[in-house]
Amino acid sequence: MIKTYQELIRIPTFEERFEYLKLKANPSEATFGGHRYLNQALYKSPEWQSIRQRVIIRDNGCDLGLTDRPIRTKILIHHLNPITIEQVLNRDPAIFDLNNLICVSHETHEAIHYGDGSRLIPSTPTERKPGDTKLW
């Protein structure tokens, strides 16, 4: 299933957006392996720097584009659909497509690729009732 920014922004909550983006792949699978230099060269290119700025402006520097989740550390740009070595080598337009990119925090990016998001998503507080409170 191809994921798009236009579909993502219709999803109202962080939790649902995270589930939409979470990779179901094996986290030990190397994306670029010994070819890591390719994506590093890509991320230093003028084309990437330009599109990166456009994504940050569009998303107001907010995690998964949600205004109530401003990123206060380094902003990462995440490809909604993982890119391949061939796409990088061929400068596939999908790499620079605004509809394939979103702002994420480092923590969110790691959880999308390797985790379950439990540290990112606050648990719902237990509803308190009269008489159920103990000091310790």
Which pLDDT tens digit goes with each residue over 7-46?
A: 999 999 999 999 999 987 654 455 666 677 888 899 999 9
pTM for this one?
0.81
Q: What is the mean pLDDT of the chain?
A: 86
As a whole number of Å, the CA-based R_g of the chain is 18
Alpha-carbon gap, residue 23 to 9, rounded angstroms: 18
* Residue 57's pLDDT band (cuts 50, 70, 90): very high
